[in-house]
């Protein structure tokens, strides 16, 4: 978790609207932190370095959301800076207090960190033995002191302690960063500034996200490109165990061996406005309305001149893909439910068994994986640590890994053998919505790709499925236009309810699980999703007078499935449940048993989840708003779970 941002460049702000005297670095840091706040919002802070004056390094931090930091900055009124680093925190070591907020200071320097230092206890004992007093409970402050101890030694050895040349100080801090990070166990993206080198940031990374933004006369660092996309769209990757030195005019990257390397660069296609609310009350609502586009963009450009499906990055030999005898999907939360939906389609189309495994469970049991297993990792952020570890675990055992991710250049994308990007654009609300639809779409593309490659489906059959997928954006538009208002009214009406059930069969089952997750996550209401057939095996005991039960009804064109679910609705209604039924337009069989019906455009069974989940997302958002909750940043959560 946590978001970090760094900037080196000129003193002056870029816009007339910036607060006078705030300086360019602070402008960049606050903009970046506001875009990264989805990664954690327990506390926030900045460190700013200016080229002259007595106190050249200033840190300002505050517990709580970014507005608290803004207020603290208004009071502190720091002078314009030539370098700055910022942090928004999701607490791991130490509670969400101002003392534990980053940056952490030691001697002449300040540090921000994303990740977890696993050997911090022994390192803390070491720095305390060296006479340092720590002010926080964090692992990061220990790193700041280790860095300062090493840096101080190097300055003394170089005879620089008195009048220090800033370039020499920056070079020595690079050496210290390399020496200290070599001793750290765990994960980190670390940025450090020192008052002895006011135009420089020194950074390092291992298994926590960090990207470079390349500007003109200024440079940037961020946990992801959202941190600097308002200022530059030129980005460059940072690999594990690399150390970096950024100045206004240069970016130097060293690999683990100490050799200078050239980072891979790319052009960010997200524009800054894609990461703002666009007139909606919340990011979650905006992102629900982005869903037709997210599906359309994920489908875009997938068919080559020969009419065959193509993936974005394929480093797996087709012969290997023809030989696979099992697919294991590793993912967490909503992404795992997308994989669960995909299981029905991929098994049906490709006749390959598909297992769905929560990434954190997969990693710590003894899964049966071989060279004939294809591991499919699904992740919006591409930085979920549980999923990263699962990918590594699978690859160590000879499996090829294919990533379905939304964030270009993310760790999972880089470590996998093949990548299929979901082009959903930035997802900011903690509750995943549009990414879920894009993930299902991408999984279906993968299923059709494998079916095509392995000869399970004829080209015209693949084309038929693609045509049906191609119709989904328009159906989503229609669903939003016709149903949103009444679903929102229902959400407001049911705001006092304390418990909900969600039932589905076949592909409706993972949709039921996702509906319950959305409600728990944003509205803090007890909600459970069940396979409708499981009801009589226990959960029906929960049903009592007035309990709201959502039921996802399959199309009547699949009578075997449809009729069974109608019986399930009758069973809960007979026991007093208030039934809210999601059914296809024209399906009148549901009417006698439904207290409320939400109508969905007719769609083939396998595509049904792309539509049926949308009312559940809207309902969760509406109910949470009616309760006055923070829909985009629910309590205790962070968008990107970058620790295990
Ligand atoms: O970034 P990822 O897709 O790997 O994230 C996985 C889960 O943490 C995520 O889907 C989480 O469950 C969402 N908050 C659900 O809305």
| CB 638 less than 6 A from any atom of ligand 1 | no
Residues 553 and 435 in one domain: no
- Residue 12 banded pLDDT, cuts 50, 70, 90: confident
220 and 285 in a common domain: no
**Residue 222: what pLDDT?**
96
pLDDT at 271: 65
Spatial neighbors of 316 by CB under 8 A, at least 6 apart, are 374, 400, 402, 417, 418
Q: What is the pLDDT of residue 316?
A: 87
Taking 70 as the threshold, does the pLDDT of residue 15 lie above it?
A: no
Domain boundary among 259, 274, 289: 274
219 band by pLDDT with thresholds 50, 70 and 90:
very high
- Interval 253-259 mean pLDDT: 95
Over residues 62-98, the pLDDT tens digits come to: 999 899 999 999 999 999 999 999 999 877 677 789 9
Mutate which of 641, 642, 643 for ligand 1? The one with the most ligand atoms within 8 Å of its CB, which is 641
407 and 456 part of one domain: yes
Q: What is the C-alpha end-to-end distance of the chain, expressed in Å? A: 10
**What is the reported pLDDT for 409?**
75
| pLDDT at 162 (0 to 100) | 60
Q: Are residues 504 and 462 in the same domain?
A: no
Q: Are residue 329 and residue 343 in the same domain, yes or no?
A: yes
Q: How many angstroms does the Cα of residue 552 sit away from the middle of ligand 1?
A: 23
| Three-point CA angle 607, 610, 612, nearest 5° | 105
* Ligand 1 center from residue 528 Cα (angstroms): 18
Q: Which of these is catalytic: 2, 332, 350, 443? A: 2
Q: Distance between CA atoms of 304 and 307, rounded to whole angstroms? A: 5
Q: Is 379 in the pocket of ligand 1 (CB under 6 A)?
A: yes
> What CATH number corresponds to the domain at position 387?
3.40.50.10490
Distance CA 67, CA 71 (A): 6
Q: How far is the CA of 333 from the centre of ligand 1 (A)?
A: 5
pLDDT tens digits, one per residue of 112-161? 999 878 888 899 999 999 999 999 999 999 999 999 999 999 999 887 55
Of residues 603 and 187, more confidently modeled: 603
Please indicate whether residue 372 is annotated as part of the active site. no
* Residue 112: its H or E element: strand 109-114
pLDDT digits (tens, 9 = 90+) for 518-540: 999 999 999 999 999 998 899 89
Query: How high is the pLDDT of residue 577?
Result: 96
The more confidently predicted of residues 272 and 225 is: 225
- Atom index in ligand 1 nearest the CA of residue 640 equals 1
For tokens 């490709």, name the residue.
350
- Examine the domain organization and report whether 330 and 235 are in the same domain: no
Degrees, nearest 5: CA angle 40-43-48: 110
Please state the rounded mean pLDDT for residues 389-401. 95
- Identify the helix (H) or strand (E) that includes residue 222: strand 219-222
| Domain match, 232 and 312 both | no
644 falls within a domain: no
Which of 4-18, 150-164, 461-475 is predicted with the least confidence, judged by mean pLDDT? 4-18
Assess if residue 285 is contained within a domain: yes
**What would the DSSP string read from start to end of 12-61?**
S-SSTTSPTT-HHHHHHHHHHHHHHGGG--SEEEEEEE-SSSS--EEEEE
Distance CA 405, CA 416 (A): 10
Residue 388 within a domain: yes
> How far is Cα 579 from Cα 493, in angstroms, rounded to an integer?
14
380 Cα nearest atom in ligand 1:
3
Helix, strand, coil percent content, the chain, rounded in steps of 5: 40, 20, 35
Same domain, 404 and 447: yes
Which residue range is the domain that position 189 belongs to?
Answer: 3-274
pLDDT band at 13 (very low <50, low <70, confident <90, very high): low
Question: In this structure, is residue 475 part of a structural domain?
Answer: no
Could you tell me if the CB of 334 is within 6 A of ligand 1?
A: yes
C-alpha 603 – ligand 1 centre gap (Å) = 27
Q: Is 80 exceeded by the pLDDT of residue 39?
A: no
- Average pLDDT (624-636) is 94
* Token pair 């052009």: residue: 267
pLDDT for residue 431 is more than 80: yes
Q: Supply the residue whose CA is at minimum distance from atom 10 of ligand 1.
A: 334
pLDDT at 14 over 60: no
Q: How far is CA 121 from CA 116, 185, 192, in A?
A: 12, 11, 21
Burial 295-309 (b: 16+ CB within 10 A, else e): bbbbbeebeeeeeeb
Q: Which of 274, 292, 320 is the last residue of a domain?
A: 274
In a domain, 641, yes or no: no
Report pLDDT for 435: 97
* Ligand 1 proximity of 431 Cβ (cutoff 6 Å): yes
Q: Which residue carries 């990207």 as its tokens?
A: 211
Whether 498 is covered by a domain: the verdict is yes
Q: Are residues 301 and 361 in the same domain?
A: yes
pLDDT digits (tens, 9 = 90+) for 402-428: 999 998 778 899 899 999 989 888 888
Å from CA of 332 to ligand 1 middle: 6
514 lines ligand 1 (CB under 6 A): no
- Which of 143, 199, 203 lies closest to 173 in space, CA to CA? 203
Tell me whether residue 479 is in a domain.
Answer: no
Q: Which of 247, 274, 301 is the last residue of a domain?
A: 274
* Separation of CA 511 and ligand 1 centre (Å): 15
- Does 432 sit in the ligand 1 pocket, CB within 6 Å? yes
Residues 21, 100: contact at Cβ < 8 Å? no
- Please indicate whether residue 192 or residue 318 has the higher confidence score (pLDDT): 192
Q: What is the pLDDT of residue 308?
A: 77
Cβ atoms of 400 and 323 within 8 Å: the answer is no
Q: Tell which atom from ligand 1 comes closest to the C-alpha of 435.
A: 3
- pLDDT tops 60 at residue 21: no
> What mean pLDDT do residues 436-452 have?
96
20 confidence band (pLDDT: 50, 70, 90)? very low
| Pocket of ligand 1 contains residue 569 by CB under 6 Å | no
Which of 208, 332, 415 to mutate to test ligand 1, by most ligand atoms within 8 A of the CB atom? Answer: 332
Instruction: Give the CATH number for residue 124.
Output: 3.60.20.10
Rounded distance between C-alpha atoms, residue 497 and residue 627, angstroms: 11
Listed range (10-19, 197-206, 568-577) with the worst mean pLDDT: 10-19
476 lies in some domain: no
Total count of domains within the chain: 3
| Band (273; pLDDT cuts 50, 70, 90) | low
Nearest protein CA to atom 14 of ligand 1, as residue: 431
Q: What is the mean pLDDT of residues 6-15?
A: 80
Give, using CA atoms, the residue closest to atom 9 of ligand 1: 333
What pLDDT shows up at residue 16? 44
536 is catalytic: no
Q: What is the arithmetic mean of pLDDT over 261-285?
A: 81
* 313-314 β-sheet, strand order: 313-314, 418-421, 400-405, 373-379, 326-331, 354-358
> What's the pLDDT tens digit per position in 178-191?
999 999 998 899 99
Over pLDDT 90: what percentage of the chain?
76
CB–CB of 242/262 below 8 Å? no
333 CB less than 6 Å from ligand 1? yes
Mutate to test the pocket of ligand 1, among 384, 403, 617 (most ligand atoms within 8 A of CB): 384
Dist CA 592 CA 589 (whole Å): 7
Ramachandran category for residue 94: left, alpha or beta (phi over 0 → left; psi -120 to 50 → alpha): left
The whole-number pLDDT of residue 537 equals 94
Q: How far is the CA of 514 from the centre of ligand 1 (A)?
A: 11
Q: What's the pLDDT band for 272 if we cut at 50, 70, 90?
A: low
**Ligand 1 neighbour 381 (Cβ under 6 A):** yes
CA distances from 206 to 32, 256, 391, 568 (A): 21, 11, 16, 50
Indicate whether 411 and 310 sit together in one domain.
yes
Asked if residue 641 has its Cβ within 6 Å of ligand 1, the reply is yes
Q: What average pLDDT does the structure give for the chain?
A: 92
Q: How far is the CA of 432 from the centre of ligand 1 (A)?
A: 6
Q: Are residues 426 and 511 in the same domain?
A: no
Q: Name residues whose C-beta falls within 8 Å of residue 522's C-beta, 6 or more positions apart in sequence.
A: 284, 430, 431, 620, 621, 624, 629, 631, 634
pLDDT of residue 17: 44
Question: What 3-state class would DSSP assign to 467?
Answer: helix
User: Within this chain, do residues 157 and 19 fall inside the same structural domain, yes or no?
Assistant: yes
The response to whether residue 380 sits with its C-beta less than 6 Å from ligand 1 reads yes
């Amino acid at each position: 978790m946590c978001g970090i941002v760094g900037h080196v460049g000129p003193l002056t702000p870029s816009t007339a609207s910036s607060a006078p005297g705030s300086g360019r670095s602070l402008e960049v840091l606050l903009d970046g932190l506001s875009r990264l706040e989805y990664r954690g919002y327990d506390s926030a802070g900045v460190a700013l370095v200016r080229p002259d004056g007595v106190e050249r390094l200033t840190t300002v931090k505050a517990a709580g959301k970014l507005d608290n930091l803004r207020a603290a900055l208004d009071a502190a009124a720091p002078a314009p800076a030539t370098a700055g680093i910022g942090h928004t925190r999701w607490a791991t070591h130490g509670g969400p207090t101002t003392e534990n907020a980053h940056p952490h200071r030691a001697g002449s320097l300040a540090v921000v960190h994303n990740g977890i230092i696993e050997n911090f206890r022994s390192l803390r004992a070491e720095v305390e033995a060296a006479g340092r007093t720590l002010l926080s409970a964090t692992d990061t402050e220990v790193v700041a002191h280790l860095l300062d101890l090493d840096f101080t030694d190097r300055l003394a050895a170089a005879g620089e302690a008195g009048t220090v040349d800033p370039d020499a100080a920056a070079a020595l801090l690079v050496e210290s960063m390399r020496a200290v990070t070599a001793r750290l166990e765990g994960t980190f993206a670390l940025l450090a500034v020192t008052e002895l080198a006011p135009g420089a940031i020194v950074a390092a990374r291992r298994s926590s996200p960090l990207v470079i933004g390349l500007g003109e006369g200024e440079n940037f660092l961020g946990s992801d490109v959202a941190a600097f996309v308002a200022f530059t769209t030129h980005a460059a990757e940072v690999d594990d165990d690399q150390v970096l030195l950024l100045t206004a005019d240069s970016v130097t990257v060293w690999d683990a061996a100490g050799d200078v390397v050239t980072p891979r660069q790319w052009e960010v296609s997200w524009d800054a406005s894609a990461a703002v609310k666009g007139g909606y009350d919340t990011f979650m609502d905006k992102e629900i309305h982005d869903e037709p586009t997210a599906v359309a963009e994920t489908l875009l450009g997938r068919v080559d001149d020969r009419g065959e499906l193509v993936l974005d990055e394929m480093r797996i030999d087709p012969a290997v893909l023809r030989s696979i005898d099992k697919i294991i999907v590793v993912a967490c939360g909503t992404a795992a439910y997308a994989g669960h939906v995909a299981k029905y389609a991929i098994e049906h189309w490709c006749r390959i068994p598909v297992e769905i495994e929560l990434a954190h469970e997969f990693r710590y049991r003894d899964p049966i994986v071989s060279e004939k297993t294809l591991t499919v990792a699904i992740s919006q952020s591409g930085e979920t640590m549980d999923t990263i570890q699962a990918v590594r675990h699978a690859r160590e055992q000879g499996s090829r890994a294919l990533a379905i991710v939304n964030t270009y250049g993310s760790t999972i994308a880089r470590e996998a053998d093949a990548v299929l990007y979901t082009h959903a654009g930035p997802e900011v609300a903690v509750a995943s919505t549009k990414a879920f639809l894009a993930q299902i779409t991408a999984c279906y593309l993968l299923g059709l790709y494998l079916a095509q490659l392995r000869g399970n489906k004829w080209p015209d059959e693949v084309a038929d499925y693609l045509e049906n997928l191609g119709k989904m954006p328009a159906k989503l538009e229609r669903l939003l236009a016709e149903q949103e208002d009444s679903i929102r009214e229902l959400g407001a009406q049911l705001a006092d309810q304390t418990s909900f059930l969600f039932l589905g069969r076949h592909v409706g089952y993972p949709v039921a699980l996702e509906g319950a997750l959305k409600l728990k996550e944003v509205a803090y209401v007890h909600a459970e999703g069940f396979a409708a057939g499981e009801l009589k095996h226990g959960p029906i005991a929960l049903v009592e007078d007035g309990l709201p039960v959502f039921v996802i009804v399959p199309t009547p064109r699949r009578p075997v499935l449809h009729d069974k679910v109608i019986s399930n609705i009758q069973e809960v209604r007979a026991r007093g449940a208030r039934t809210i039924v999601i059914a296809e337009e024209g399906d009148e069989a549901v009417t006698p048993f439904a207290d409320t019906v939400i109508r969905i455009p007719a769609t083939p069974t396998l595509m049904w989840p792309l539509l049926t989940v949308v009312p559940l997302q809207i309902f969760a958002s509406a109910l949470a708003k009616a309760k006055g909750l923070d829909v985009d940043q629910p309590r205790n959560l962070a968008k990107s779970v970058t620790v295990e």
